[in-house]
Structure 1
């Protein structure tokens, strides 16, 4: 089996969220959703020191932060009203070794702890494995306990901690907790997520 990059223009539909390509015209609405100190507090974007409190500075930061050229950069929107509540990316495509990475994920605090993240990851993992990938990586700053717990709830397996992988915005070194889902694990992970997302489970 060979792996192919999923169509970056594809729209993925769930019952709660719709994932579509993030456009530059979406950035004001995305700023309203995630341009908050608490989003950066756990380590997203380089940590609290990366926070920018004006739209202009935040936009400049985001243009350099997201994998616009190499990844499938996605707007996470609510199906009921189309409102943008976050962003995530399927990227780091290694087609020869059939691996990819779901990351660069941030949500509006109002949807933390809801079904939004689980359904978003269900859709992206499905797109990756349907496209022939063998391994999908997820990771978080080792200090980001909320994100690490959310990754484990998805059914991903903890692989370990990579030390001093990158500099945070404040100049300290980030250690990165790495997780993955393998193709052979995907049916069980998918079934667990589908059960969690079933209407009667809400």
Structure 2
């Protein structure tokens, strides 16, 4: 089936059974604060920023994320991730994380799925696979991208394992790529998923979510 002409992320809500992703708004700061201030997150290789001490300290970061989306949808679209309904994972509406589609290049059909953070309480749950399923489906099926890049710090073993678990292809290391919060330079491990890879990856993610629902008795 021919894909449509490539378009930037639309900004529409992305809704699944477990989570929904909405474009980040200023009022999300209070709900995002427990995620960004979770000390466990910063022991796993996420060191691009220091944990905020208060919602007020987090506000400029959220403001920058919101402002990175251009009026035409290019730039970076940041999403706030919430639980859809009450469950063992928490109450409906609870903010569990954030992720983005950025570095949009519609001519080359490239987009970067990144800037992802979840509170440690939801690690290993259905939150990440369903979030990735929704974001990748939007990128490939709605927007018509041909390549989605994912990357992480080379020292972040947990994130690298999660990206490999998606079925993404390792492309290599970008050396001295980004400055960490402590002033050292990060090497980035770069992965990609192509539109030709998507059907198999989509099926694998759907199977993971089905198993997760069965184990949870949903």
TM-score of the pair, normalised by structure 1: 0.92
Whole-angstrom distance in 2 between the partners of 1:30 and 1:6: 22
1:66 to partner: Cα distance? 6.6
Query: Could you report, residue by residue, the CA deviation over 1:78-100 in whole angstroms, capped at 9, with x for unpaired residues?
Result: 01111111110011101110000
Match of 2:72 in 1: none
The answer to whether residue 97 in structure 2 is matched with residue 86 in structure 1 is yes
Mapping for residues 1-202 of structure 1, pairs under 5 Å: 2-8=5-11, 10-44=12-46, 46=48, 50-64=50-64, 68-69=68-69, 70-80=75-85, 81-130=92-141, 131-198=143-210, 199-200=213-214
Query: Could you report, residue by residue, the CA deviation over 1:15-55 in whole angstroms, capped at 9, with x for unpaired residues?
Result: 111111111001111102332222233343615xx222222
Query: Could you report, residue by residue, the CA deviation over 1:141-170 in whole angstroms, capped at 9, with x for unpaired residues?
Result: 111001111111111111111100011111
Gaps spanning 5+ residues in structure 2: where? 70-74, 86-91
Gaps spanning 5+ residues in structure 1: where? none
Whole-angstrom distance in 2 between the partners of 1:185 and 1:67: 32
Whole-angstrom distance in 1 between the partners of 2:27 and 2:175: 37
Change (3 A) 1:66 1:140: farther
Match of 2:88 in 1: none
My pick for the range that moved more, 100-109 or 31-40, is: 31-40
Whole-angstrom distance in 1 between the partners of 2:54 and 2:134: 32
Q: After TM superposition, where is structure 1 displaced by more than 6 Å over at least 4 residues in a row?
A: none
| Matched-pair contact (CA < 8 Å) for 2:47–2:182 | no
